[in-house]
Structure 1
Amino acid sequence: MDASSILERVARALATSRLAEPRVDVSMLLAAGGRRRKASRFEMTPAKFERFLKEGRGRGAGPTYRPWIQVSDLSSKGRVHRTASALTGFRTHHLLSDNEYSAYLRAWWDENVLDIREQYPLLPVGLTESIAESLGVKHPWSNKYQFAIPQTSDLFLVRGGGIEVVAVKEDEDYEKPRTKEKLAIAEEFWRRRNVPTRVALSSELKTARFWNLEWIYDARLKPADLPFRQGRSRLYDWLVSVVVGGEISSRELGYRADVAMGLPRGTGIEAIRRLLAERVLSTDIDAGDISKDCGLCVGSVVR
């Protein structure tokens, strides 16, 4: 057994015993007694932690916020999403699962939400360490590098009435004891800041609402687009005027628009999607598959 293997075994033994304090810098031990194994670019290390701090990750608001974890920081396992919208100044959001993307869409659709910050770090780490100790649970820890790994909250939502933090979990993961422990640390962290928290489970996220929101979201404003304003688009003005006259279905309205204005088939429904995304028009997003048909009424922008 070479020197580096021995030192790693010693460090692991110390980390799992009450003799682990004071903490040992494994990188220094390995440098002195053997060749250090190169760190994967996907694992958290003390150097990466310091780099994230210097880069301003976990700080900022709206378009200037930088999430603590970004898609490029992870291995290719699982589905991830990069997306942007006018709500946060078209900055790129880094969502690490389909469930996080679904929770993001719900927040984007909620007109009381003013800002969405994903992968929000719970700093300073010393505080979450003390919370873990007070709760009698283990803080996320790197045996390899002998340092506490910072926790993150999936979504930090700025609402008109305050802040809300959302943890996104698969149902089966939520029932695991270790998941409960890490959630307890996060909940206490936010409780001390008078910030309410909640858990969004996959069973409540993987519903028809997700597909409906995605259908609307895909038609959202792009950076080069101009937002709705009366008089800017003859088609948009015509669609709104019809809906103002009384509730009508999207299918009928889209068809009537194409015929009345001599437009290629489907142009009207695409315009309706854009007006829904801008809240100029509104619909019940829980009423079945709205991509096929849905009732339309005037949205908050017009009211």
Structure 2
Amino acid sequence: MSKNNNTWSERKFTRFIKEGRGQGRGSGYKPWLTIQDFPSKGRVSRLKGWKTNRIHHFFTDTQTRFFYLLEWEDAVIDIREHFPLFNLEEKIDTKDINMENFKDKESGFPYTISTSFLITIKDCHGNLEYAARSIKADYELEKKRTLDRLELERRYWKAKGIDWGILTQKEINKTKAKNIEWIHAAYFLLENEEKAKDLGYLTEVLQEELTKSSLQVRLALKKFDEELKLETGTALMLFKHLIARKKIVVDLEKEIKLNLKPDELIARFNEKVREGEGLVSNC
């Protein structure tokens, strides 16, 4: 559904299927809906995922913030947004729901309902589990059509034996999500092969310096840039990278304040965590 033509039809459905939408896993997954498809009620986002190494599409701040929370969880190994519920009416009983509300008014073709997130979780024994989550603004839950749609989702995932739930902005830890947003892009800092060697060395040096510094973190970072004659902001970028890669552990439940000293802000250093690895919790 393009921004210029929102009419949904069998022809568009077929095109979406041929494009591979709603299919694949990990880096190969293509969301059923993208930000190019129709106008959003909130701020749209395109973000490269830590877990998937692909671009994710979100239509609201709440979707984006929940995504950040999922990115941080080591047990989450795949995040598929806007996952389509194919063959919905074949899989569940819809007799008590007015399905005309879920058809295009012009073409009469049924919309393909999608769930905001399908999440793949791997436990410490290597077993895979799945969870589906629908993201809605709290005021939307007062609308009959929204409730009917959510009931369709509930029945669909129940039939597939997959845990499903609803989240609104009230259930999202905004402070933690904003902290992860602040560090998110720095996760990929060493992707550039030309810069990776130098920056990788600098992150190790910065980590060592922070363990010894008694200055406020912001001043320690400024001093690091000045002493090594680096571009202003380089140390801050490296600091974010260290947090993103979980080599530096801070309390993300609280606002990250750079006017604190390292021993006040940083809970611990994880020197043994290799690049690209997170911390795996014990069973």
TM-score over 0.5 for the pair: yes
Amino acid across the alignment from 1:267: T
Note the alpha carbon deviations across 1:43-67, whole angstroms, 9 max, x for none.
3212111111122211001111111
Can you give the 5+ residue segments of structure 2 that lack an aligned partner in the other structure? 124-128
Aligned partners of 2:239, 2:154: CA distance in 1, in Å?
41
The yes-or-no answer on 1:211 pairing with 2:181 is no
Note the alpha carbon deviations across 1:5-34, whole angstroms, 9 max, x for none.
xxxxxxxxxxxxxxxxxxxxxxxxxxxxxx
In the alignment, what sits opposite 1:94? 57
Aligned partners of 1:251, 1:200: CA distance in 2, in Å?
36
Aligned partners of 1:95, 1:70: CA distance in 2, in Å?
8
> Residue 46 of structure 1 contacts residue 147 of structure 1 at CA under 8 Å; is this kept in 2?
yes
The yes-or-no answer on 1:295 pairing with 2:265 is yes
Offset at 1:93? 1.0
> Residue 31 of structure 2 contacts residue 80 of structure 2 at CA under 8 Å; is this kept in 1?
yes
Decide whether aligned partners of structure 1 residues 53 and 247 sit closer, same or farther in structure 2, where only a CA change above 3 A counts: farther
The yes-or-no answer on 1:137 pairing with 2:125 is no
Aligned partners of 1:111, 1:290: CA distance in 2, in Å?
24
Aligned partners of 1:291, 1:44: CA distance in 2, in Å?
50
Decide whether aligned partners of structure 1 residues 250 and 60 sit closer, same or farther in structure 2, where only a CA change above 3 A counts: farther
**What is the total number of aligned residue pairs between the two structures?**
261
In the alignment, what sits opposite 1:146? 108
Aligned partners of 1:192, 1:203: CA distance in 2, in Å?
28
Map 1:143-292 onto structure 2 (within 5 A).
143-161=105-123, 162-205=129-172, 207-221=174-188, 224-225=191-192, 233-242=200-209, 250-251=217-218, 253-255=220-222, 257-258=224-225, 261-290=228-257
Amino acid across the alignment from 2:35: V
Decide whether aligned partners of structure 1 residues 186 and 286 sit closer, same or farther in structure 2, where only a CA change above 3 A counts: same
Query: More displaced, 239-248 or 175-184?
Result: 239-248
**Residue 33 of structure 2, aligned match among 69, 72, 86:** 69
Aligned partners of 2:30, 2:63: CA distance in 1, in Å?
17
Amino acid across the alignment from 1:115: D
Offset at 1:189? 0.8
Decide whether aligned partners of structure 1 residues 100 and 253 sit closer, same or farther in structure 2, where only a CA change above 3 A counts: same
> Residue 86 of structure 1 contacts residue 223 of structure 1 at CA under 8 Å; is this kept in 2?
no
Aligned partners of 1:65, 1:146: CA distance in 2, in Å?
29
Aligned partners of 1:232, 1:98: CA distance in 2, in Å?
32
Amino acid across the alignment from 2:265: G
Q: Normalization by structure 2: what TM-score? A: 0.79
Note the alpha carbon deviations across 1:190-227, whole angstroms, 9 max, x for none.
1121211122211233722232111111322068435x
In the alignment, what sits opposite 1:43? 7
| Percent of residue pairs identical | 23
Aligned partners of 1:248, 1:209: CA distance in 2, in Å?
25
- RMSD of aligned Cα (Å): 3.2
Aligned partners of 2:115, 2:14: CA distance in 1, in Å?
19
The structure with more radius of gyration: 1
Decide whether aligned partners of structure 1 residues 232 and 272 sit closer, same or farther in structure 2, where only a CA change above 3 A counts: closer
Q: Normalization by structure 1: what TM-score? A: 0.74
Decide whether aligned partners of structure 1 residues 187 and 242 sit closer, same or farther in structure 2, where only a CA change above 3 A counts: farther
Offset at 1:170? 0.6
The yes-or-no answer on 1:115 pairing with 2:78 is yes
